[in-house]
Amino acid sequence: MNDLKKLIDAELIAYLNTISYLTAEVKKIESYATEKGQFILPVNVGYGAIYNSGGFDSLSYGQSPYVGLSFPLGNSAFKSNILSNSSISFGAYLNNFNDENGEEITGPFIGRPIFLGVGTRAFKLLRINAGVTALQKDASDSNFDVSQIYLRPSININFELGLWIGLLK
């Protein structure tokens, strides 16, 4: 029995005293030549609405088609579907709105309402945005007056089209 214990001890000591090695290879993207991908500009074409004033009984809102651009907050490599499908959208409505008194509401700088929002992709091409729209009541005055600009909440639904224009290639 003592010989068996000595044999087991000798085998265990020989096994435990061996140095184990782990082989690993670390690669960095910067170490390899890569091909630049296409630069795709996400263009939005859709329909949106803004809230002017009032409650359920006397709701005043404006609606119009619009065009804009989206800037993604993430890509499909992210593990989170929310971040990979989200974007910041910027654009302009094609028509001016009317307020509750029937007066025309335009936007600053270009004479059309301008919006900024955060959106998420509902389907492959369909995107829903919520944000704010910059409006201006009196655009007939040639002097730019910041005090005439105000913000209203907006919601938009659009088709997002990837426009490849061959930049950065």
Contact between 129 and 159 (Cβ < 8 Å): no
**11 within a domain of the structure (yes/no):** no
**32 within a domain of the structure (yes/no):** no
**88 within a domain of the structure (yes/no):** yes
**25 within a domain of the structure (yes/no):** no
Helix/strand/coil percent split, the chain, to 5: 15, 45, 40
Q: Residue 92 corresponds to which tokens in the numbers above?
A: 């302009």
Residue range 27-86, pLDDT digits in tens? 777 666 666 666 677 888 899 888 887 777 777 778 889 999 888 886 655 555 666 678
**7 within a domain of the structure (yes/no):** no
Would you state the pLDDT for residue 132? 93
Sign of CA dihedral 125, 131, 137, 141: negative
State which residues form the domain around 139: 37-164
Residues in the chain: 169
Task: State the total domains in the chain.
Answer: 1
